[in-house]
Structure 1
């Protein structure tokens, strides 16, 4: 199903979608890095309290709105005539990538609540490795959308 009236808005929708994705991914790059440092900080004191504020503001003020905007604008693009050829396979790869990115976002949100309670939900090493996940997902998504290998 497509909505013909969206065709004239395509350049603006695409531009706003990319801006939202950039903001979201920037947060996905930074929040696990904050968790690396927070994991190493003693619970309850400084700088742990500073990390709590930074993590909450990053997630609530930047990442959550950016993710919601990326989703809404992405769905709008899908509903725009001529944007997605449903017979092609590349969009399956992109869908897998953004669904995994959303799941990772939710994982980070749950972990933030643990840090807020002065728990250490995972080790510093875990967060160092997890910090690479958004890069791999971004590579998958960009290749699927630009190269369209299948």
Structure 2
């Protein structure tokens, strides 16, 4: 029964995290298109609040995921190739999340050098990772 609760919490916090990680780059698209200093300041506030709001969800996703791996045991972990692939993709997602903080800092300092088009593509990365992660977790192809 505890495993089901941990799975539920893991999924809940993952969904909340992804909601923010999908929206943050969209804000960067609009921010990159902006020329007004007043609007720039407003975007900086929105981006900072959003990223700091979803970061605890990212942490809790990891905490409950680690708890699940501990409860399932090391033998299960060794033999679950799909999980190794999933963890690799999840690691990329945490790197992506960390890079969002770099972008936040650049925008705040007025040092953004990227176009709105770059951020549109940047916005697609977590979608692709989400699809792959869910397929690995549900289908368990290897």
Q: What is the TM-score with the length of structure 2 in the denominator?
A: 0.93
Is 1:21 matched with 2:14? yes
Q: Residues 42-90 of structure 1, C-alpha deviation per residue, up to 9 Å, x if partnerless?
A: 26x12111111110000112x2101110111110010113694521310
Q: Which residue of 2 aligns with 1:130?
A: 122
Work out the number of aligned pairs and report it.
141
The root-mean-square deviation of aligned C-alpha atoms, in Å, is 1.5
CA contact (8 A) 1:93 1:140 kept: no
Q: Which runs of 5+ in 2 are unaligned?
A: none
User: What is the rounded CA distance, in whole Å, between the counterparts of 2:29 and 2:125 in structure 1?
Assistant: 14
CA contact (8 A) 2:69 2:77 kept: no
User: What is the rounded CA distance, in whole Å, between the counterparts of 2:139 and 2:77 in structure 1?
Assistant: 14
TM alignment of 1:1-150, pairs within 5 A: 8-42=1-35, 45-61=37-53, 63-81=54-72, 84-150=76-142
Displacement over 6 Å in runs of 4+:
none
Q: What is the TM-score with the length of structure 1 in the denominator?
A: 0.88
CA contact (8 A) 1:36 1:127 kept: yes
User: Would you tell me which structure has more helix in proportion to its own residues?
Assistant: 2
User: What is the rounded CA distance, in whole Å, between the counterparts of 1:22 and 1:75 in structure 2?
Assistant: 17
Distance 1:100 1:89, change over 3 A: same
Q: Which runs of 5+ in 1 are unaligned?
A: 1-7
